[in-house]
Structure 1
Amino acid sequence: MPYPSTKPPFRADHVGSLLRPKPLQEARAAWKTGSLPHDALREVEDRYIIAAIARQEDIGLRAATDGEYRRAYWHYDFVAGLNGVELYEPEQKIQFKGNVPPLGHALRVNGRIGWSKPVMLDTYRFLASHVRSAVPKQTIPSPSVVHFRGGRQAIDRTTYPSLDGFFADLGEAYHKAVGAFGAAGCRYLQIDEVNIAYLCDPEQIAALKARGEHVDNLLGIYAAMLNRAIAGKPDGMTISMHLCRGNFRSTWVASGGYEPVAEVLFNQIDADAYFMEYDTDRAGGFEPLRFVPRGPKIVVLGLMTSKTGVLESKDDLKRRIDDAARYLPLEQLALSPQCGFASTEEGNTLTEDQQWAKLERCVAVAQEVWGEV
């Protein structure tokens, strides 16, 4: 059954983050050094977020984000706002593939996890108050972010002698967060879940085992946390999941097709839609889409790369959509870039003009393939 065109995700959609305009980058740098007050930074952010919303609407996108312009990271800014979670600078930093500096911060749990502060609710309300025609879309990181990189050694043993309590509290905090966004009027919420995609990579599994993590049921644990979070949504809210294999200054972390996680991902997690990285061979083929149940669940094909400015041809995109439709009916498919354009404030190695050209191409192809955006 086709999904209603009034309900997200839309035939042409996008993951969320946008390249920061240079004046915004300069303002954030000045704020970090203490030479620009936070109120002044907020004014700059507001101005460029309003402009980004208008640009998304003008090119025909039916969902708009704030570009994540108020964040330094796609994930840390949100989860560091939870009770018991601390952002810090570790001695051993996360290194992406390629010649880029390592990620500068990490997370650790130093107390009981909970949701008592309105993390990013004000940013959602600002977004919602400035859309004209688009549906405001809020993005948050998955709860698995708090566990995957640091694992047992980054979680205070006095607070959590057993990880069962940690996972339960984390799922409950997210349940409350989803409910809070719903109460604020959010009807399109995306959970960025990169770590389930990392579980498709044998190297990532080996690294988890090497540091002593129990990985046998990790996918099931993450699925249960996600379902507890999703259970907090009100009627009428669409929750999508975004899966990718790392995105930092146009580099990546993991490889591997979705086959090892597909059955759980599509049939045991209660998401309405899935934004799936498919811009390179590192993500494997479309065969795992056969596990998607026939009906209202949607897969948004991330066929356009956000890592370079090379503009994909319409013919190539249509051919790959046809390939995917061999495993999942066309009415259950949509199109987007494979990830955001700036998962961190530094952004990927393409220009703003190239970014907008890709989003315009996404809209044009969706119109030609499905007859709607």
Structure 2
Amino acid sequence: MSVNPPFRADIVGSFLRPDAVKAARVRLAAGEIDAAELRAVEDEAITSLVARQAQAGLKVATDGEFRRSWWHFDFFGMLDGVNVVELDHGIQFQGVQTRPLGLHIDGPVGFPADHPMLEHFRFLKPVAEAAGVTPKISIPAPTVLDFRLERDALAGSSYGDHDDILEDLAATYRSAVQAFYDAGCRYLQFDDTAWAYLCSEDELKKAAERGIRTDHLAERYAALINASLRDKPADMVVTTHVCRGNFRSTWISSGGYEPVAEQLLGETTFDGYFLEYDNERAGGFEPLRFLPQGDKVVELGLITTKSGELEDADAIKRRIDEASAVAPLAQLALSPQCGFASTEEGNVLSEDEQWAKIETTVAIAADVWADA
């Protein structure tokens, strides 16, 4: 890599929404303020968040996804040819279901030149640089859009089945990567639940019921990712976060990375991988053997964002030692396992507990890696 990220102590991206942002969104929905007034509240909250990330010792900052309601639907719904629609069901997590929204494709999928998240990054960049940290923005991966489509989501479009949409998805993301680069972004992240779901027999069964051809799906998704990153500029880092579901501190899938590790780590052209390793559902470190020797980095997600209980630093260091028996320590780093608020509802912990997690991540990384 020709620039510094991913860092030894890094973050996935989302943070608990401040009360001011929550209140402003309620007032917007009630017609008491307009979009410009909401944006002013978000601007102030993001500026404070960036300063807090720098104060915590991070070398990277995000906007906390404060302008989003969902980690993925907001981005997808702003693409050409993609609509967010109401369904008769939400996404089923353990013991709770999300709001009943999904995606429908009504035309050729594409990335518009005025996609609003480009402006989100343009605001973040100077604020982060003034604080002395690298700005990062996360967007959902193209694999997520394909994997989340319901059986009838392509009805009325020019796409006959899931395989037909992949070429346009790759072209859409090539345009997105270039657009963010032109906006000054040098650290971009693809958030992805699909790879974790491919490790779950239950989720694969559900995917087949939605009309997805699941045989050799990991190979097709690796090809989709590589086609999406084909024209990535050399001085831009693109990483991915593999998530098992994160909604109000609950989860969806279980299963270690073994079924997809060869394709994900060995074949995709990401610069780094944020992998969840905060509990037994993630399996062991053995799949890290597929990480090619070189500059690619695996961010070990050993710090959970699903509860406020603070991890024991020595226990985390022992787990890093275990991972370094499989992959070189020089290619490992540390991060929380996920964001703190993949949706605006947020996980079940306090802001103080959130920042204690971040500070612990930074402190442990400084003890383990000399270049942290």
Flag whether TM exceeds 0.5 (same fold). Answer: yes
Which residue is 1:128 aligned to? 125
From 63, 66, 79, give the equivalent of 2:63: 66
Cα distance between partner residues in 1 of 2:326 and 2:100: 40
| Count of aligned positions | 369
Contact 1:176–1:232 under 8 Å retained in 2: no
Contact 2:91–2:97 under 8 Å retained in 1: no
Which residue is 2:325 aligned to? 326
From 48, 60, 84, give the equivalent of 2:81: 84
Contact 1:151–1:213 under 8 Å retained in 2: no
Cα distance between partner residues in 2 of 1:245 and 1:14: 16
- Superposed displacement of residue 176, structure 1: 0.4
Contact 2:154–2:160 under 8 Å retained in 1: no
User: For 2:244, what is the secondary structure of its paired residue?
Assistant: coil
Cα distance between partner residues in 2 of 1:269 and 1:233: 13
Which residue is 1:108 aligned to? 104
Which residue is 2:49 aligned to? 52
Structure 1 residues 56-92: Cα deviation after superposition (integer angstroms, max 9, x where no partner): 0111100100000000000111111111100011012
Cα distance between partner residues in 1 of 2:164 and 2:12: 32
Cα distance between partner residues in 1 of 2:150 and 2:270: 25
Which residue is 1:169 aligned to? 168
User: For 2:206, what is the secondary structure of its paired residue?
Assistant: helix
- Superposed displacement of residue 152, structure 1: 4.2
Q: Which runs of 5+ in 1 are unaligned?
A: none
1:118 equivalenced with 2:114 (yes/no): yes
Cα distance between partner residues in 2 of 1:314 and 1:231: 39
- Superposed displacement of residue 370, structure 1: 0.5
Cα distance between partner residues in 2 of 1:27 and 1:45: 9
Contact 1:81–1:117 under 8 Å retained in 2: no
1:285 equivalenced with 2:284 (yes/no): yes
Cα distance between partner residues in 1 of 2:149 and 2:108: 16
The letter of the residue matching 2:273 is: Y
The letter of the residue matching 1:345 is: E
Cα distance between partner residues in 2 of 1:286 and 1:334: 14
The letter of the residue matching 2:170 is: G
- Superposed displacement of residue 257, structure 1: 0.2
Contact 2:297–2:332 under 8 Å retained in 1: yes
- Name the CA shift for 1:30/1:163 in 2 (closer, same or farther; >3 Å): same
Which residue is 1:350 aligned to? 349
The letter of the residue matching 1:327 is: V
- Superposed displacement of residue 303, structure 1: 0.2
From 10, 13, 16, give the equivalent of 1:13: 10
Cα distance between partner residues in 2 of 1:211 and 1:231: 29
Alignment of 1:1-373 (within 5 A): 7-98=4-95, 100-119=96-115, 120-131=117-128, 132-373=131-372
- Superposed displacement of residue 101, structure 1: 4.1
Q: Which runs of 5+ in 2 are unaligned?
A: none
Structure 1 residues 344-372: Cα deviation after superposition (integer angstroms, max 9, x where no partner): 00100000000001000000000001123
Contact 2:151–2:209 under 8 Å retained in 1: no
The letter of the residue matching 1:112 is: P
User: For 2:293, what is the secondary structure of its paired residue?
Assistant: coil
User: For 2:152, what is the secondary structure of its paired residue?
Assistant: helix
Cα distance between partner residues in 1 of 2:230 and 2:159: 24
Structure 1 residues 109-162: Cα deviation after superposition (integer angstroms, max 9, x where no partner): 111111123321100010001012111001000012222122442113541124
User: For 1:208, what is the secondary structure of its paired residue?
Assistant: helix
CA RMSD of aligned residues (A): 1.4
TM-score calculated relative to the size of structure 2: 0.96
User: For 2:146, what is the secondary structure of its paired residue?
Assistant: helix
Contact 1:49–1:66 under 8 Å retained in 2: yes
User: For 1:155, what is the secondary structure of its paired residue?
Assistant: coil
Contact 2:113–2:179 under 8 Å retained in 1: no
